């Protein structure tokens, strides 16, 4: 019983880490995409 509680604790910590890390990575990748598009738009002029 103690091991299952410990495992659930680790799982919840992992889920929290993913929930925190995912939005940050998505925001960073979106910023990279916006930068790339602005560079592409600037090139022809």
DSSP one-letter string for the chain: -HHHHHHHHHHHHHHHHHHHHHHHHHHHHHHHHHHHHHHHHHTT-
Q: What is the pLDDT of residue 26?
A: 93
The model's pLDDT over 1-20, given as tens digits with 9 standing for 90+, comes to 899 999 999 999 999 999 99
Q: 33 falls in which pLDDT band (50, 70, 90)?
A: confident
Q: 35 falls in which pLDDT band (50, 70, 90)?
A: confident
- pTM here? 0.54
What whole-number distance in Å separates Cα of residue 8 and Cα of residue 21? 20
CA distances from 19 to 28, 31, 32, 33 (A): 15, 19, 21, 22
């Amino acid at each position: 019983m103690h091991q299952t509680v410990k495992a659930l604790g680790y799982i919840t910590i992992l889920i929290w880490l993913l929930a925190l890390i995912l939005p940050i990575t998505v925001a960073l990748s979106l910023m990279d995409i916006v930068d790339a598009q602005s560079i592409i738009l600037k090139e022809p002029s």
